[in-house]
Structure 1
Amino acid sequence: MTYKQDEYIKQYNHTAQIANTIRHSRYFLVSILIICLYIFSIYQIFYKSPSLYFNIWFIFTEVFVSLCWLISTVYFKPEQYSLIIAHRWLQFQCFSVGTLIASGIFLIFYYLPATNQSFEPIQALTLSALLLIVTQTFGLTYLTQKLNYFCLAFIPSIVPYLIAQFFFLDGSNHLFSLSINFGLIVILMCAMTSYRIHRRVSTLHAKNNLLVDSAKQQVKWTDELCQQLQDEVNKSRDIELQLQLGNQILEQKVKERTFDIEQMNKDLENQQANLVLAHEIAGLRPWDWNIKDRKIVVTNYKQEKTLRHSKEHQQQLQHVIHPDDIPHFKSAMIQHLRGFKDRYEATYRIQNSQGKWSWVHDIGRVIQRDPDNRKPLRMVGIRRDIHQERTSQERLKLAASVLEQAAEGIFILNEELCYIEVNPFYEQLTGFNYDQIIGKHLFDITANYKSIQRSMHYSIIKQVLKIGEYDGELHEKFLSGKELTLWMHINAITDDQNRVTHYIGIVSDLTERKLQEQRLSYLENYDTLTDLPNRFYYNYQLHQYLVSQQDSIKQLAVIRLNIDRFRPLNEYLSNNGGDELLRQVAQRLRLTNAEALFVAHLNGDDFAIVYEISHIRPSVQEHCERINKAFSIPFNIFGQDHVITLSMGVAFYPEHGRQLDYLNNCAEQALSEAKNLGGNTTRYYSNENTALLEQGIFLERDLRKAIQNNELVVYYQPKINFRDKNIYGFEALVRWNHPEKGLIPPGLFIPLAEQTSLISDIGRFVLQKTAQQIRFWNNLGYQNICVSVNIVAQQLRRGQLLNDLDEAIDANQIDGASLELEITESSLVENLDSVRELLNEIKKRKINISLDDFGTGYSSLSYLADFPIDILKIDRSFISKIGENKQLAIVSAMIAMGKAMGMTVVAEGIETEQQLQYLQDLECDIAQGYFFSKPLPQEEATVFLENNISSPAYTYLI
């Protein structure tokens, strides 16, 4: 047995000893009253001599013992007292009674013989022995649940006899003393034996409870394991089917992929042949240099590949490259190998087989480097014979055909950056003809009035003269009047000695492209329907205001607006009408917010305004009032006038936040509060909203964990039948036992759960626990107990209620008549046909249906006639006001109506005798409320059921 079991048994024994002693002590006190009355009566009948002290003892004893009995009966009711207080009370009671018995023995044995000559010592000894023996016998019968209670009554009682044996009794009474002593010892031994028997029985009962709980847990674990095993089997079947399907799909994919690979191989072979042919025709000679292994593969003019060692290849290049070109060749190669240039590119002369020098263009790139030290490992390239191209390069550069057919502006400048040639497209761009351009400097045909333009021209000329090229965008206004956005590329042309001889410029017109970019920017940042900035641009611009260092903007107000009831209005107007309404709303907002920094259309009917708070502008409240006043004028949509209202939420910078998202969230919270109030109002954000929101978020998070961790418990409030005062059943009520916050009232977490799917999970949990409890009570022999469970609208609409009911009934083998579903009137408002069909299906399972909180919601007599409702439950708000004339009439009418329709009428919230009597006079059927009992845990509910099922519950509780 574990330590926890020992502690449980010890606590159980202690509780049982006190509870049983409290119950038996009442009989003990009655016995004391009777024996004292019996002895007093004997003395008064046979020895009529009055005795003041004996009379006082008798009266005091009777009064004190009666008070003790009254306190034990009234105050120490079952399950309604503290164990510590009860323990102290029993100790006091036992000791006091023992003391009173000792006082009576003393008076009878010592005092009465001295005052009454006819009362002989042997008679006194007989009466006192009778008082002692009888009281100890009663103590042995009723006080041995705990030995110290018996000893507290036993020890004071025998003190007079113990004293008498040493001081008063003569030799003739020694035998009597020995007999009395022996009898007292026997009584004490019997008390010890009786105490051990009681303790052993209590221990066995506690162990039996532990075994029962353990057996239930084992059964539950077995069911869970069986369910898990079944789930695993089902999953294995599903996986097997998926694998079979996957194998079939994979086989098909492999076949398709194989066919694709074969086609790709054929294409690659064709491409390889084409590439070889292209290299052969173009005179390209590829090479592949394995720097790591010092091997190079080169291709000759016959496209034959040869593998050489790198050192051998370098020696050959030293002999075939022109001596003047070797430094340039080496420099280009080293710069690329060291990573200074993206690729290797060199033009040099080589000696052909006839001994003549021929120009070649060599291009290559490192395709593999060491990841640690970035050293080159492999390089590939192509060497091309450009001798013929080199010879005709000047002719090709000046070819008129290129200039005439070019779709971009092309110009040629001399070394002094003066025009020597332009093509027709460049003439078209500038607006000048050929003669007006030739001979002028590069920027002489543009306007240079502004210093910024002159500075930009100077930097371009300086860059071209310094590095020989320019590539960039510029906005130019020509003296001809044309203004364009251009992209200009200027590159220097050098001779064989690398001297600049000419400059070639290529100019592209970017004007149309810029217009396209502007249009795209508009589409990206503005809403095409309302022409207002969209959410993206709103967030960007508001962020700029928040991070701006301008001292002039110190306070901002973010106003979020929403059209009230826009969805039904949009459905009525159709899409075109809704769009037209949004356009007119945007236009009116634009006109009424001329002083605002920003007006945006975020989405749908959601708008936002950024308003600067300043002493020279109207206040935010005045500004919002002006908007509302402007929107009081109707909107004409396709010939019909429509009056709309706005809900507005306002958050302030920096009071409510300095970050974009936080400030937007604050405004949205204020807007939500305005819409929850019915719209057509303005709400300002308050920090209390954040606290409530966070509390709700944390509570929702803890509630989800509570469902997973079994922190929810079900309490049961009894229902009493007015006719026979017996228990009709219980109502199941959920409670949350939070591990840190303790017992959380349902009024705090049930509304939160109803906003999410958690209420369905909670309802399913309560239904299962209730079915288990009904099964438990049925096993105890209570077959006719009916327990009601509250069902919310969400459970009716989600479609899982019938499955949950069938699962609970089948799993616990209970009768459907043992369940009662309490449904509120608001649950019947939407989807009347589907709800009616669902309730009819529930009735087929013999489950009772109760209409809860009748008279407080969408009350309609059609519900009572159209739906299969068995029970009518009057809300506590009507019961609590019984005594008022109007309320009496309403309650009376409700009960009469329910009776007339053949329904059972339940009154909840009964707390007073007046309410109970009034409802009983009206022949109400079922009573429920704190007058009978508060909601009880399952153990206390079972005890309540055991104590009240066979006796009139009403009489007992009263």
Structure 2
Amino acid sequence: MTEDQYEYIKQYSHTAQIANTLRLSRYFLTSILIVCLYIFCIYQIYFHTETSIFNIWFIGTEIIVSLFWLVSTVYFKPGQYQLTAAHRWLQLQCFIVGCLIASGIYILFYHLPQINLHFEQIHALTLSALLLIVSQSFSLTYLTQKLNYFCLTFLPSIVPYLFAQFIFIGESNHLFSLAINFGLIVILLCATTSYRINNRLSSAYARNKLLTKHAEQQVEWADDLCKQLQNEISHSKDIEQQLQLNNQLLEQKVRERTFDIEQMNKNLENQQENLILAHEIAGLRPWDWNIKDRKIWLTNHKHEKLIRDSKQHRIQLQSMIHPDDLDHFKNTMKTHLRGETDRYEVNYRIQNTSGKWSWVHDIGRVVERDSTNNKALRMVGIRRDIQKERLSQERIKLAASVLEQAAEGIFILDDELCYIDVNPYYEKLTGFKSQQILGKHLFDITANNKSQQRSAHYSVIKQLMNMNEFDGELTEKFLSGKELTLWMHINAITDEDHKVTHYIGIVSDLTERKLQEQRLSYLENYDTLTDLPNRFYYNFQLHKLLVTQRDSQLAIIRLNIDRFRPLNEYLSHNGGDELLRQVAQRLRLTNADALFMAHLNGDDFAIVHEISRIRPSIQGHCERIRKAFSQPFNIANQEHLITISMGVAFYPEHGRQLDYLNNCAEQALTEAKTLGGNTTRYYSSENTALLEQGIFLERDLRKAIQNNELMVYYQPKINFHDKNVCGFEALVRWNHPEKGIISPALFIPLAEQTSLISDIGRIVIQQTAKQIKQWQELGFNNICVSVNIVAQQLRRGQLLEVLDDAIQKNQISGSNLELEITESSLLENSDEIKNTLNEIKQRNIHISLDDFGTGYSSLSYLADFPIDILKIDRSFVSKIGQDKQTAIISAMIAMGKAMGMTVVAEGIETEQQMQYLQDLNCDIAQGYLFSKPLPEQEATQYLEQNTQSATYSY
């Protein structure tokens, strides 16, 4: 490092130290203000004794330090002060602050303990040490940019402590003095170290600045060199421009010499381009065959001239020509070369580069022959591509063929709409020959005696004139006598000036199609059996009536034949169809003034009447229909009396929407059918409420099955012989989260109408098997629990799987289960049900015939089905005491005993009933006399209280 650089670094460090100290001294002064305020507040809070010297010191210190801060902030702004003045100011400031701290230490350490007895020596030591240590810590932080600033603050501050150690040797605390001395020495060492670090940082900043200046100077030198280089380049360009000028003069002389030559070449090129253009437009490819030298000049598809050897060209040409045209080509060429023809001309196909065949027309002539032997020496010619011409000719022929053979009528008109050509099919459609049509106007061959036809013809002509086309359906009666429904499409043909020259028309015969559409419309909208509108057409017409007759009052009657299904099975299929036809005919006769009548499906009919004062009432209509049906129907030479049920809904009273009105009428019809038929019911809102209640109940029941809300109660069965509990009947209950326990009478009938009864049966069997297992674990091994089964569970085919799953899962015996089946469950599918019951018996499960005596064929069931237990219905038990009922019960018990069955009597509520049944040797009793149905826990308690070691076994 040079001496100048060293001096620069030294000066820069000195300047930076002063500037940084000025900036940091503000923080130092602020810290001193806070420390003095803090000590003053501590003294005032804890010792309360007023001392003027201490107050004067605090106020003076705060004022002096604040003035120092203000002067440093306002006067010594960055870049606005002299370095020497700032240095002197900082020295003065540091020294005075050190003296103020020393005076504060003196007052705290010497003066206050003498005037305030409560202010002890330890307090003086603490506060004075706090003032010294904290102030010197801040000076160590902010004033070590230069060591003399720190010393000017540090040395005056420690004077009171130093003097105290020598003056008050006996009274001073030596340990405190040693600690303070050590701390002051450490602070001094830290200040020295901090100064050195700051000094090194300032030197590093100075060196960096020197390096930056040096780099900038190097950049300036590089810019100067670039400028010099640019001057050299400019000089080189001047020389280059002089050379270019000389070259341009030379080139100008050359151009002048070659201009005439270029003009001659241009003329030749123009002539050649004209020739090439003529060849391109005409599609000509010239060729020149020098037979003597065996060379041929020709032009390819890119109009490039090529020279080939004759032999090579002949081989290539023979490979390109279509095999079917090759012999013709050779013969024609040989004939001309021999001089037998004046000109060579032939058409043949060649294979182009894409592999497709293209027609060409080749024409040529021998222009030079040997005078001695007449051999050809030179031959020239032109080959032309005629593929488009051939295609155009073929299209013309094809168009003519299509015109002749098309299965559509086609005609061509001139610009005056007069026929100039027609095809044979159009002749066939119109019934005229072409000679009778040509030259006539478009509609001169049709009848125009009706104003409607004349208007239609005028509309067609007007549309052709305005839009140059027509496309539409016309019903025409030709003068030949033919009357047809036609679809006519006419288009105008224009020239380059968009002027109409011709019209082309295509005519299709829609007559048969219209007939087919009418037949399809009938099949789509009418029932072929009754010849009445079907459901689709009924909804369409009813919707149309509701839209067009909004101010009218309508009645929708839904009619259904009572017990049609068994009657249809009896009459067979043909007989049932004949009955529906006669019903439809009778409805037509009795409802001649109805707006609409339809056969919806099966035996379901609908009638729509308009309600008005001049017409009979709807009650009168319904009564008239009922009277008409009081007469018998003759089917297959047999008379049959049938009854009908009718449901009526009114528009707009019961609704304005199609679907809603139909639903209202259906609900009324359902109510009529529910009442046994042969009646008429009118829709009311109460019906809707009952229906909605059923819908909501079904929805809640489905949720109940998913949420395990169904519970099983158990009603005990008592052995007549020993009065012990021998079993239970499982009865399902619904614990609704909002409505509480719901009776089975409310939800079981609804479940039987849906598939929910099977799900409920599965739940009851599973819970019952689980409860049997729990009772067996308590020691009740011979308890048998009966479960009610309905017909749907037997027919769905899942009952055996449910039983097997319950038995295997709970490890119980089939003898612990009993299935109660009602007589109505055995009415249909007797063979299938019998097989299912036999499968159940193979699992040792008991089968009980429930509600015995209330069904249809009880005696046949006892003989045909594997029944173990006969259960007398509560309706018989409740009438014990009446002679006839007593005789029936006695006969039932005797019959059951004779067939080896166990007899159970349910619904016992009095001691008299119990005694009577016991006298008849009935086996098992059940009823409220013993217990109502109990939940699981209460049933277990009842079992424990009413069971001895002996139990009844089936």
Give the one of 797, 800, 803 matched to 1:802: 800
Matched residue, 2:774: 776
Which residue identity lines up with residue 853 of structure 1 in the other structure?
A: D
Any stretches of 5+ residues in structure 2 without a counterpart?
Answer: 1-281, 284-298, 304-359, 363-384
Which residue identity lines up with residue 509 of structure 1 in the other structure?
A: D
- Quickly say closer, same or farther: Cα 1:918–1:302, change in 2 above 3 A: farther
CA–CA distance in structure 1, aligned partners of residues 867 and 491 of structure 2? 94
CA apart distance, 1:865 = 4.3
- Quickly say closer, same or farther: Cα 1:799–1:515, change in 2 above 3 A: closer
CA apart distance, 1:750 = 1.0
CA apart distance, 1:767 = 1.7
Q: Tell me, what secondary structure is at the counterpart of 2:527?
A: coil
Matched residue, 2:503: 503
CA apart distance, 1:789 = 1.8
CA apart distance, 1:779 = 1.4
- After TM superposition, list the pairs within 5 Å mapping 1:698-717 onto structure 2: 698-717=696-715
Matched residue, 1:693: 691
CA–CA distance in structure 2, aligned partners of residues 403 and 835 of structure 1? 74
- 2:361, 2:386 within 8 Å by CA — same for their partners in 1? no
- Quickly say closer, same or farther: Cα 1:485–1:710, change in 2 above 3 A: same
- 2:852, 2:858 within 8 Å by CA — same for their partners in 1? no
Matched residue, 1:517: 517
- 2:694, 2:750 within 8 Å by CA — same for their partners in 1? yes
- Quickly say closer, same or farther: Cα 1:390–1:500, change in 2 above 3 A: farther
- 2:415, 2:502 within 8 Å by CA — same for their partners in 1? yes
CA–CA distance in structure 2, aligned partners of residues 719 and 653 of structure 1? 58
Q: Tell me, what secondary structure is at the counterpart of 2:520?
A: helix
Q: Tell me, what secondary structure is at the counterpart of 1:789?
A: strand
Matched residue, 1:830: 828
Matched residue, 1:907: 905
Matched residue, 2:815: 817
Deviations 1:289-339 (A, max 9, x none): xxxxxxxxxxx99699xxxxxxxxxxxxxxxxxxxxxxxxxxxxxxxxxxx
CA–CA distance in structure 1, aligned partners of residues 860 and 506 of structure 2? 86
CA–CA distance in structure 2, aligned partners of residues 418 and 559 of structure 1? 61
Which residue identity lines up with residue 715 of structure 1 in the other structure?
A: Y
Task: Tell me, yes or no, if structure 1 residue 791 matches structure 2 residue 789.
Answer: yes
Matched residue, 1:604: 602
- After TM superposition, list the pairs within 5 Å mapping 1:194-213 onto structure 2: none
Which residue identity lines up with residue 802 of structure 1 in the other structure?
A: L
CA–CA distance in structure 1, aligned partners of residues 386 and 557 of structure 2? 69
CA apart distance, 1:572 = 4.4
Matched residue, 1:750: 748
Q: Tell me, what secondary structure is at the counterpart of 1:607?
A: strand
Deviates more, 1:539-548 or 1:744-753: 539-548
- 1:717, 1:933 within 8 Å by CA — same for their partners in 2? yes
Task: Tell me, yes or no, if structure 1 residue 558 matches structure 2 residue 556.
Answer: yes
CA apart distance, 1:598 = 1.8
Deviations 1:188-235 (A, max 9, x none): xxxxxxxxxxxxxxxxxxxxxxxxxxxxxxxxxxxxxxxxxxxxxxxx
Deviations 1:778-802 (A, max 9, x none): 2112233232222222333333333
CA apart distance, 1:481 = 5.0
- Aligned positions, number: 577
Which residue identity lines up with residue 475 of structure 1 in the other structure?
A: T
- After TM superposition, list the pairs within 5 Å mapping 1:633-672 onto structure 2: 633-672=631-670
CA–CA distance in structure 1, aligned partners of residues 479 and 550 of structure 2? 40
Task: Tell me, yes or no, if structure 1 residue 492 matches structure 2 residue 492.
Answer: yes
CA apart distance, 1:916 = 3.5
Task: Tell me, yes or no, if structure 1 residue 935 matches structure 2 residue 933.
Answer: yes
Identity of aligned residues (%): 79
CA–CA distance in structure 1, aligned partners of residues 405 and 435 of structure 2? 19
* TM-score of the superposed pair, with normalisation by structure 1: 0.54
CA–CA distance in structure 2, aligned partners of residues 833 and 419 of structure 1? 82
Matched residue, 2:613: 615
Which residue identity lines up with residue 815 of structure 1 in the other structure?
A: S
CA–CA distance in structure 1, aligned partners of residues 536 and 404 of structure 2? 47
Which residue identity lines up with residue 850 of structure 1 in the other structure?
A: S
Matched residue, 2:226: none
- 2:413, 2:502 within 8 Å by CA — same for their partners in 1? yes
Q: Tell me, what secondary structure is at the counterpart of 2:849?
A: strand
Deviations 1:696-752 (A, max 9, x none): 222222222222221111111122233333222222111111122221111111111
- 2:647, 2:682 within 8 Å by CA — same for their partners in 1? yes
CA–CA distance in structure 2, aligned partners of residues 889 and 499 of structure 1? 112
Task: Tell me, yes or no, if structure 1 residue 949 matches structure 2 residue 928.
Answer: no
- Quickly say closer, same or farther: Cα 1:416–1:616, change in 2 above 3 A: same
Which residue identity lines up with residue 823 of structure 1 in the other structure?
A: I
CA–CA distance in structure 2, aligned partners of residues 853 and 392 of structure 1? 94
- 1:726, 1:951 within 8 Å by CA — same for their partners in 2? no
- Quickly say closer, same or farther: Cα 1:517–1:784, change in 2 above 3 A: closer
* TM-score of the superposed pair, with normalisation by structure 2: 0.54
Which residue identity lines up with residue 470 of structure 2 in the other structure?
A: Y
Matched residue, 1:258: none
CA–CA distance in structure 2, aligned partners of residues 458 and 790 of structure 1? 84
Which residue identity lines up with residue 531 of structure 1 in the other structure?
A: D
- Quickly say closer, same or farther: Cα 1:602–1:385, change in 2 above 3 A: farther
- After TM superposition, list the pairs within 5 Å mapping 1:86-105 onto structure 2: none
Deviations 1:853-874 (A, max 9, x none): 2222236334344444443322
Q: Tell me, what secondary structure is at the counterpart of 2:543?
A: helix
Which residue identity lines up with residue 538 of structure 1 in the other structure?
A: Y
CA–CA distance in structure 1, aligned partners of residues 531 and 756 of structure 2? 43
- Quickly say closer, same or farther: Cα 1:855–1:474, change in 2 above 3 A: same
CA–CA distance in structure 2, aligned partners of residues 538 and 302 of structure 1? 73
Give the one of 738, 741, 751 matched to 2:739: 741
Give the one of 730, 733, 739 matched to 1:732: 730
Matched residue, 2:542: 542
CA–CA distance in structure 2, aligned partners of residues 821 and 950 of structure 1? 25
Deviates more, 1:813-822 or 1:891-900: 891-900
- Quickly say closer, same or farther: Cα 1:303–1:843, change in 2 above 3 A: farther
CA apart distance, 1:896 = 4.2
CA apart distance, 1:637 = 4.0
- Quickly say closer, same or farther: Cα 1:480–1:934, change in 2 above 3 A: same
- After TM superposition, list the pairs within 5 Å mapping 1:348-497 onto structure 2: 407-422=407-422, 425-426=425-426, 429-430=429-430, 440-448=440-448, 452-478=452-478, 482-497=482-497
Deviates more, 1:876-885 or 1:895-904: 895-904
Any stretches of 5+ residues in structure 1 without a counterpart?
Answer: 1-282, 285-299, 305-351, 355-382, 954-958
- Quickly say closer, same or farther: Cα 1:400–1:626, change in 2 above 3 A: same
- After TM superposition, list the pairs within 5 Å mapping 1:244-263 onto structure 2: none
Q: Which structure has the larger Rg over C-alpha atoms? A: 2
CA apart distance, 1:766 = 1.4
- 1:825, 1:852 within 8 Å by CA — same for their partners in 2? yes
Give the one of 573, 581, 584 matched to 2:582: 584
Deviates more, 1:713-722 or 1:856-865: 856-865
CA–CA distance in structure 2, aligned partners of residues 392 and 760 of structure 1? 78
- 1:876, 1:908 within 8 Å by CA — same for their partners in 2? yes
Which residue identity lines up with residue 882 of structure 1 in the other structure?
A: I
CA–CA distance in structure 1, aligned partners of residues 386 and 647 of structure 2? 73
Q: Tell me, what secondary structure is at the counterpart of 1:939?
A: helix
CA–CA distance in structure 2, aligned partners of residues 858 and 891 of structure 1? 17
Q: Tell me, what secondary structure is at the counterpart of 2:533?
A: coil
Deviations 1:119-171 (A, max 9, x none): xxxxxxxxxxxxxxxxxxxxxxxxxxxxxxxxxxxxxxxxxxxxxxxxxxxxx
Deviates more, 1:419-428 or 1:748-757: 419-428
Deviates more, 1:486-495 or 1:531-540: 486-495
- Quickly say closer, same or farther: Cα 1:680–1:400, change in 2 above 3 A: same
CA–CA distance in structure 1, aligned partners of residues 393 and 792 of structure 2? 89
- 1:826, 1:857 within 8 Å by CA — same for their partners in 2? yes
CA apart distance, 1:574 = 4.1
Deviations 1:423-469 (A, max 9, x none): 56545544566676555543455455555544443333233223322
Matched residue, 2:324: none
- Quickly say closer, same or farther: Cα 1:420–1:737, change in 2 above 3 A: same
Matched residue, 1:873: 871
Which residue identity lines up with residue 736 of structure 2 in the other structure?
A: H
Q: Tell me, what secondary structure is at the counterpart of 1:487?
A: strand
